[in-house]
Amino acid sequence: MPTHSHPNEQVTYIVEGALKFLIQGKEIVVAAGEALCIPAKIPHSAEALQDTLNIDVFHPNAPIGTTKATIICVGKNNFVSPERHPAELSAIFFRTN
């Protein structure tokens, strides 16, 4: 995932595999069973070190249409090879407030 930021705090939990994050010039490797919290508006990027299953939670509420929701994403991040897209989103769950 290229460098980006968003207005929401992000918590990433790694179910399987490992992701390497770059946050404010610091590399952080998060492996299975570990979690990482990224504050809102902080530029960051991520790279799959191996095939990875992760759960991302974005909070506080993100605007979805005319309502606000907590976004929970379950993603599959593949170890990147030139012919494969690096990430495949498996499911998105919304909890409206």
Statement: residue 16 has pLDDT above 80: yes
Average pLDDT over residues 68-84: 53
Cis-peptide, bond into residue 60, ω within 30° of zero = yes
**What is the dotted CATH code of the domain comprising 9-96?**
2.60.120
How many angstroms separate the CA atoms of 47 and 44, rounded?
Answer: 11
According to DSSP, the residues that pair with 77 across neighbouring strands are: 52, 87
Average pLDDT over residues 9-15: 88
- Return the number of other C-beta atoms located less than 10 Å from residue 4's C-beta: 9
Statement: residue 95 has pLDDT above 80: no
